[in-house]
């Protein structure tokens, strides 16, 4: 039985990385060993030197995945970055166009091997997806298919403001239609609250019309640090998280 979550968003930049970090803190709080994985990261910066602390296995590798590095730090993982972010691209694009421009095919075997390693070592793996569900990885394989292959329950991160009802409902309803198990929605303030009527009323409306529960409303944090993220993770409904990790407690 696989344990963990697959994190997607209604869009890119909604806060998937921050919510992945918060979920890791929440799971650790339950006394479980949790880790992060970002199977594919694009927009990686080129570094002139090899960063020792990342334990790159490939000696020539100089592409730095910022989400993966942040998550490695927050999760306190001592593993090679090759397991956390097995596939890295330079161009800030969806994986399909990045892969075509760079002439590198996505090696799915590498992703599987990394996931196998992490899921054996840790009680739960929180996997950050790439953008939203319809982001292409190859011409006929999308983030949705990657989520299916991981077989983990899905968590949808969405924006708080105007427009989010439609984006959230499209994402969760499509995921359900495609047979994915959706655990819940997390509304994330990636910017300061604007105090709009939409922000105030959206959670209630989503609760009324969505078949999926809201796991929490994650606040805007001035400083995104270990402590502040850990503290804010208390805004997430631990009972829903626990329910999906139940198997760990039974073991």
Alpha-carbon distances, residue 179 vs 83, 111, 148, 246 (angstroms): 28, 22, 8, 21
Choose from Mg ion, ligand ADP, none: what does 8 bind? Cβ within 5-8 Å by kind. none
We find the least distance from the C-beta atom of residue 251 to ligand ADP, in angstroms, to be 31
Residues 6+ apart with CB under 8 A from 92: 42, 43
Residue with tokens 């569900």: 133
Residues 6+ apart with CB under 8 A from 164: 10, 158, 187, 198, 202, 206
**Position among 3, 10, 18, 168 found at the interface with ligand ADP (CB under 6 A):** 18
Residue 120 a catalytic site member: no
Alpha-carbon distances, residue 176 vs 151, 154, 179, 184, 189 (angstroms): 13, 10, 5, 12, 25
Choose from Mg ion, ligand ADP, none: what does 190 bind? Cβ within 5-8 Å by kind. ligand ADP
Grouping H, G, I as helix, E, B as strand and the rest as coil, residue 1 is coil
**Closest by alpha carbon to 181, among 207, 209, 152?**
152
- Nearer to Mg ion by Cβ, of 3 and 16: the residue is 16
User: What is the spatial distance between Cα 17 and Cα 157, in angstroms, rounded to a whole number?
Assistant: 10
- Nearer to ligand ADP by Cβ, of 71 and 248: the residue is 71
- Nearer to ligand ADP by Cβ, of 14 and 69: the residue is 14
**Closest by alpha carbon to 22, among 157, 167, 210?**
157
- Contact window for ligand ADP (CB under 6 A) among 102-110, 171-179, 217-225, 233-241: 217-225
Interacting residues with Mg ion between 42 and 101 (CB under 5 A) = 67
Site map (CB under 6 A) of ligand ADP, residues 175-214, x = contact? -------------xxx------------------------
We find the least distance from the C-beta atom of residue 247 to ligand ADP, in angstroms, to be 27
Q: How wide is the angle at C-alpha 115 spanned by C-alphas 148 and 170, nearest 5°?
A: 30
| Element of type H or E holding 164 | helix 164-177
**Could you say whether residue 15 binds ligand ADP (CB under 6 A)?**
yes
We find the least distance from the C-beta atom of residue 57 to Mg ion, in angstroms, to be 23
We find the least distance from the C-beta atom of residue 238 to ligand ADP, in angstroms, to be 18
- Nearer to Mg ion by Cβ, of 15 and 184: the residue is 15
Alpha-carbon distances, residue 11 vs 55, 139, 141, 197 (angstroms): 31, 19, 18, 22
Q: Which candidate in 3, 16, 25, 38 is catalytic? A: 38
**Position among 12, 47, 166, 201 found at the interface with ligand ADP (CB under 6 A):** 12
Give the interface with ligand ADP as residue ranges (CB under 6 A). Answer: 9, 12-18, 188-190, 218, 220-221, 224
């Amino acid at each position: 039985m696989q344990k963990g979550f697959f994190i997607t968003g209604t869009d890119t930049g909604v806060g998937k990385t921050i919510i992945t970090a918060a979920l890791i803190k929440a799971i650790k709080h339950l006394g479980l060993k949790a880790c992060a994985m970002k199977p594919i990261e694009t927009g990686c910066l080129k570094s002139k030197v090899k960063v020792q602390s990342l334990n790159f296995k490939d000696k020539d590798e100089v592409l730095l995945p910022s989400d993966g590095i942040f998550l490695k730090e927050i999760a306190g993982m001592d593993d090679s970055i090759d397991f956390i972010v097995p596939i890295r691209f330079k161009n800030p694009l969806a994986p399909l166009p990045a892969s075509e421009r760079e002439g590198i095919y996505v090696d799915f075997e590498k992703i599987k091997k990394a996931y196998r390693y992490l899921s054996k070592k840790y009680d739960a793996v929180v996997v950050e997806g790439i953008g939203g569900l319809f982001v292409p990885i190859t011409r006929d394989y999308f983030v949705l298919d990657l989520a299916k292959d991981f077989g983990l329950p899905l968590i949808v991160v969405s924006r708080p403001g105007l427009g989010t009802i439609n984006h959230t409902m499209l994402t969760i309803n499509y995921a359900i239609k495609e047979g994915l198990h959706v655990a819940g929605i997390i509304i994330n303030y990636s910017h300061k609250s604007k105090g709009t009527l939409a922000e105030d009323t959206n959670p209630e409306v989503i609760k009324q019309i969505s078949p999926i529960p809201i796991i929490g409303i994650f606040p805007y944090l001035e400083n995104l640090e270990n402590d502040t993220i850990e503290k804010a993770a208390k805004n997430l409904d631990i009972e829903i998280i626990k329910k999906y990790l139940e198997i760990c407690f039974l073991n």
